[in-house]
Amino acid sequence: MASSFVLDREIGDRPYFRNLGNRVCPQFLEPLRHLGALGYWLFWLLAASGIYLYIRFDTSLTGAYDSIDRLEWWFGGILRSVHRYAADAFVVVVAAHLVRELLAGRFRGFRAFSWISGVPLVWLLYGSGIVGTWLVWDARAQFSFIATLEWMHMPVSSAEQAFDRLFSFFVFLHLGVPLLLLAGMWIHVQRLGRPATVAPGVQALGMTLSLLVISLIKPVASAARWDPRTVPQALDIDWLMLFAHPLMYATSPAALWAMALGLTALLTVLPYLSRKPKLVAARVDPANCNGCGRCVADCPYEAVSVVSGKAIVLAERCAACGICAGACPSSTPFRSARELVSGIDLPDLTVHGLRRRLRGALPAPEVVFRCEQASGPGIGVRCIAMLPPSFVEYALRNGARSVKAVGCGAECAYRLGLALADERFSRRRDPKLRPTVRVKRKDNEYSFALR
């Protein structure tokens, strides 16, 4: 299929794209790894500032505009500006998150759920922002509401005969749509183990301070009061949030529908336009599974569960990263069995095969285990967290003077691999590295020797 060819060539699941940011300028691009979490932070910032504004807000048609005007500049006024700018920042952060996932090829196969569940969030985000604009009840609100009615082919007269019930409807929408957005955000991360929904402190603080500074430099002000007898003309609008209205007037309501629905449909089917990466899902051997649940706790894609005391894998969710095999207590090379069968394993890259390759390399002054995504020589593992720590001790006790384990770039291809390997090697998580082994870390490279 032509589209599949283009997609795979242009934005395939290549480490080059994934690590591009880290190669170009690690410090500068580091925040881009946490865009989803920053989105969560902005949501909570909007909720907190919104609750205060709601307390001060007069929810009647006659009082709304004045109640916003009455906010003292140094607190309520600043909070109002923060609320508005946080909404704009939310749009930018989500757009950047979407583009980043796209460029890294993270939209298909086992990630299709995360991708597709992200698409309605864009609608809900814009919906929340646009109805928020209406609450101010100024000429900008009037312009946006009329444009929306025209887009929906609804009679504009309903905007001219503004009445209390309509205003209550706006308030209801501005509470209801963000709640739907929150529910959508929760669903969005349901197929991810340990989803990163909390932004690093420095970034959350940096974002909040930036919003405060912008609010002080350029506080948000209402336009003239909503006047049903006039049609708003020249207006200064928030282009990030309201760009669809001028776009509609420059084209037509039908053209805007075509663009909005077309883009939504394209994003939704994108995971199916591209060839799925060929993966052989992890497989469980019930005879070697004791139901301990370590594989469930470590799987980055919620692909394993324990049912009736035995692990089971949902193949369509599995990324074939092997992290579960690295977690399983039965994956130890010290077992005497000729055929090392693990409770959970990758059929195309087994723990038995790993032991065979290791034995073939021994004795040696140094044994290197290397993540497949990292270049260089060594015994390849799908992800560095596929390596059970017992393999390190096994190598050291069977003819290796030192052992190295090398992870990929700064961002793990399987989300959690680097973090899980670090917790295991630093003896904070099962399966732990034995205390008889000394460990040193330099970036994503670990060096081991016997004490």
Q: What residue ranges bind ligand SF4 (CB under 6 A)?
A: 282, 284, 289-295, 299, 301, 303-304, 306, 311, 313, 318-324, 327-330, 343-344
Query: Do 305 and 330 meet the contact criterion of CB atoms below 8 Å apart?
Result: no
Is residue 412 involved in binding ligand HEM (CB under 6 A)? Answer: no
**127 touches which of ligand HEM, ligand SF4, none (CB within 5 to 8 A by kind)?**
none
Whether residue 411 contacts residue 19, with contact meaning beta carbons closer than 8 Å, is answered with yes
Q: Write the DSSP assignment of 310-347 as a string of letters.
A: EEEE-GGG-----HHHHH-TT--TT---SS---SEE-T
Binding mask 254-293 for ligand HEM (x = CB under 6 A): -------------x--------------------------
Using CB under 6 A as the criterion, what x/- string covers residues 127-166 for binding ligand HEM? ----------------------------------------
Give the count of beta carbons closer than 10 Å to the beta carbon of residue 279: 16
How, if at all, do strands 400-406 and 437-442 pair?
Answer: unpaired
CA 321 from centroid of its chain's CA atoms: 19
By a kind-dependent CB cut-off of 5 to 8 A, residue 319 interacts, out of ligand SF4, ligand HEM, none, with ligand SF4
Residues touching ligand HEM: how many (CB under 6 A)?
Answer: 27
- Minimal distance in Å, beta carbon 91 to ligand SF4? 32
Residues sharing a CB contact under 8 Å with residue 177, sequence separation 6 or more, in sequence order: 124, 127, 128, 131
| DSSP bridge pairs for 380 | 370
Specify the stretch interacting with ligand HEM by CB under 6 A; choose among 106-114, 236-244, 279-287, 437-445: 106-114
Residue 392 interacts with, from ligand SF4, ligand HEM, none (CB under 5-8 Å by kind): none
Asked if the peptide bond before residue 200 counts as cis, ω within 30 degrees of 0, the response is no
Residue 345 CB, shortest distance to ligand SF4, in Å, is 9
Residue nearer to ligand HEM on the CB measure, 37 or 146: 37
Q: Please, which residue, 39 or 232, has the CB nearer to ligand HEM?
A: 39
36 near ligand HEM, rule: CB under 6 A: yes
> Would you call the peptide bond into 435 cis, given omega within 30 degrees of 0 as the criterion?
no
Burial pattern 104-125, b for ≥16 Cβ within 10 A else e, equals bbbbbbbbbbbbbbbbbbbebb
* Min CB(188)–ligand SF4 separation in Å: 18
The binder of 188, among ligand HEM, ligand SF4, none, by C-beta within 5 to 8 A per type, is: ligand HEM
Is the distance from CB of 223 to CB of 138 less than 8 angstroms? Answer: yes
Nearer Cβ to ligand SF4, position 65 or 369?
369
Residue 440 backbone zone (phi > 0: left; psi -120 to 50: alpha; other: beta): beta
Using CB under 6 A as the binding rule, whether residue 125 contacts ligand HEM is answered as yes
Q: Nearer to ligand SF4 by C-beta: 405 or 420?
A: 420
Backbone angles phi, psi at 297, to 5 degrees: -65, -30
Interface residue list for ligand HEM (CB under 6 A): 36-37, 39-40, 94, 97-98, 101, 106-107, 111, 114-115, 118-119, 121-122, 125, 185, 188-189, 192, 195-197, 267, 415
